[in-house]
Amino acid sequence: MVGHLPTLRQLTFLSALAEHGSFSRAAEAAHVTQPTLSAGIKELETILGATLVERGARGAVLTPAGEAAVARARIVLTEAEDLVHVARAAGEPLSGPFRLGVIPTIAPFLLPKVLPSLRTHYPKLELFLREDLTHRLVDALKDRRLDAALIALPYDAPGIETTGVLEDEFLFAATPDHPLAKRDTLSPDMLADEQLLLLEDGHCLRDHALAVCSASRPDTHDARSDFAATSLHTLVQMVKSGLGATLLPKLAIDAGLADRLDLAIRPFDPPVAGREIGVAWRKGSAREHEARMLADAVREALKG
């Protein structure tokens, strides 16, 4: 027979303590007083029969037993959240809190088109957004810290499922005096001698752009190694300064990324596939149906 079981409240306290590393910050995050949180941790240690936290001048440090307990606690808490989500979604999907990740090369250009439509069609949806690089968003999906994410596809990650919502092509961007700026349309092989400015390593858009460069000149990656931007906004400023040319997603250009910068923006003929934007979620997630509904809502919003 199992004796006393931990409460969700106690497990929440432990998870907060593991995340914040101090009783005061954990109490603030859990919206309780520090004595209340401390007492809850003590009660949990008594129930489990193990010391979970070492209290010292440097804050709270989890013991090996505490680390193991936190890992299990987070699973229990997530399963409890899933129970609520499943029950809520059965009656009214896309209502209540929904944690959505978005990569930086999508967020400022896609969200302004999509969020108003989501608010109109799902007024009870409480959307919490997190902007980060793809690999960190995927980790958060696997750890159940996100319900879904808007990322660039293809992205092969075990345990993650996706559905596409938009094909986004590449456009060439340079200063008006660039030789290729004088052409109405371009072909990828014209990039053979170009060393393009790209985003820094870690951005999937860089990899997609390099794939285009490699197709035009397979023996090399045509990217300047001495300059790399941290965002598309920085990238277009570098191009405007005359440091080089680049490839930009049409989604960003249509959203006004290069407006008033006096840049020459040229399409490819035929269009060059840049990336597919899609919605990703954890395989087996209780919120898969809602993630698919979100993808449908994004598609509809982009048609308008």
Name the more confident of 111 and 96.
111
User: What pLDDT does residue 89 have?
Assistant: 59
* pLDDT (mean) for 170-194: 89
Of the two residues 136 and 91, the one the predictor is more confident about is 136
Residue 187 lies in a domain: yes
Residue 68 within any structural domain of the chain: yes
| Last residue of one domain, picked from the residues 86, 115, 143 | 86
Quickly state the pLDDT bin for 213 (edges 50, 70, 90).
low
Residue 222 pLDDT grade (very low, low, confident, very high; cuts 50, 70, 90): low
Q: Is 2 a member of any domain?
A: no
Per mean pLDDT, which range of 52-66, 91-105, 217-231 is the poorest?
217-231
Whether residues 79 and 104 share a domain: the answer is: no
The answer to whether residue 58 scores a pLDDT higher than 80 is no
Do 74 and 127 lie in a common domain?
Answer: no
- pLDDT band of residue 21 (cuts 50, 70, 90) is confident
Residues 73 and 51 grouped into a single domain:
yes
Report residue 87's pLDDT band, with 50, 70 and 90 as the boundaries.
low
Q: What is the pLDDT of residue 256?
A: 94
How far apart are the C-alpha atoms of 221 and 212, rounded to whole Å?
9
Rounded to an integer, the average pLDDT of 282-295 is: 91
User: Per-residue pLDDT averaged across 191-201, rounded?
Assistant: 81
Name the residue among 123, 168, 118 with its Cα closest to residue 148: 118
Please indicate, yes or no, whether residues 22 and 79 belong to a single structural domain of this protein: yes
Average pLDDT, the chain: 86
Say yes or no: 146 and 186 in one domain. no
Q: Assess whether pLDDT exceeds 80 at residue 284.
A: yes
**pTM to 2 decimals?**
0.72
Neighbour count for residue 283 (Cβ, 10 Å): 12
156 and 183 Cβ atoms separated by less than 8 Å:
no
**Residues 112, 199 within the same domain:** no
What residues contact residue 235 under an 8 Å CB cut-off, 6+ apart?
197, 198, 199, 229, 246, 248
* 291 belongs to a structural domain: yes
User: Residue 239: which residues within 8 A CB-CB, separation 6 or more?
Assistant: 173, 174, 175, 197, 245, 246, 263
- Domain stops at, among 63, 86, 109: 86
Task: Give the structural domain span for 195.
Answer: 167-275
The domain tally of the chain equals: 3
Residues 286 and 271 placed together within one structural domain of the fold: no
Peptide bond preceding 267 in cis form (omega within 30 of 0): no
Parallel/antiparallel/unpaired status of strands 223-229 and 196-199 = parallel
247 found inside a domain: yes
> Are 74 and 99 contained in the same domain?
no
* Domain end marker among 32, 56, 86: 86
254 and 211 in a common domain: yes
We report the CATH number of the domain holding residue 50 as 1.10.10.10
Which band of pLDDT confidence, cut at 50, 70 and 90, is reported for residue 188? Answer: confident
Q: Is the pLDDT of residue 220 over 70?
A: no
DSSP secondary structure string for all residues of the chain: -------HHHHHHHHHHHHHSSHHHHHHHHTS-HHHHHHHHHHHHHHHTS--EEEETTEEEE-HHHHHHHHHHHHHHHHHHHHHHHHHHHHSSS-EEEEEEE-TTTHHHHHHHHHHHHHHH-TTEEEEEEE--HHHHHHHHHTTS-SEEEEEE----TTEEEEEEEEEEEEEEE-TTSGGGGSSSB-GGGGTT--EEEEPTT-HHHHHHHHHHHHHSTTS--EEEEEEESSHHHHHHHHHTTS--EEEEHHHHHTTTTTTS--EEE-BSSPEEEEEEEEEEETT-TTHHHHHHHHHHHHHHHH-
Query: What's the pLDDT band for 185 if we cut at 50, 70, 90?
Result: confident
Q: Which CATH number covers residue 246?
A: 3.40.190.10
In a domain? residue 161? no
Is 195 part of any domain?
yes
Q: What is the reported pLDDT for 1?
A: 37
- Higher-pLDDT residue of 299, 82: 299
Q: Mind listing the pLDDT tens digit for each residue in 140-150?
A: 998 888 999 99
Mean pLDDT in residue range 126-153? 93
- Tracing tokens 């930086």 back to the chain, one arrives at 104
In a domain, 229, yes or no: yes
184 and 250 share one domain:
yes
Within this chain, do residues 173 and 241 fall inside the same structural domain, yes or no? yes
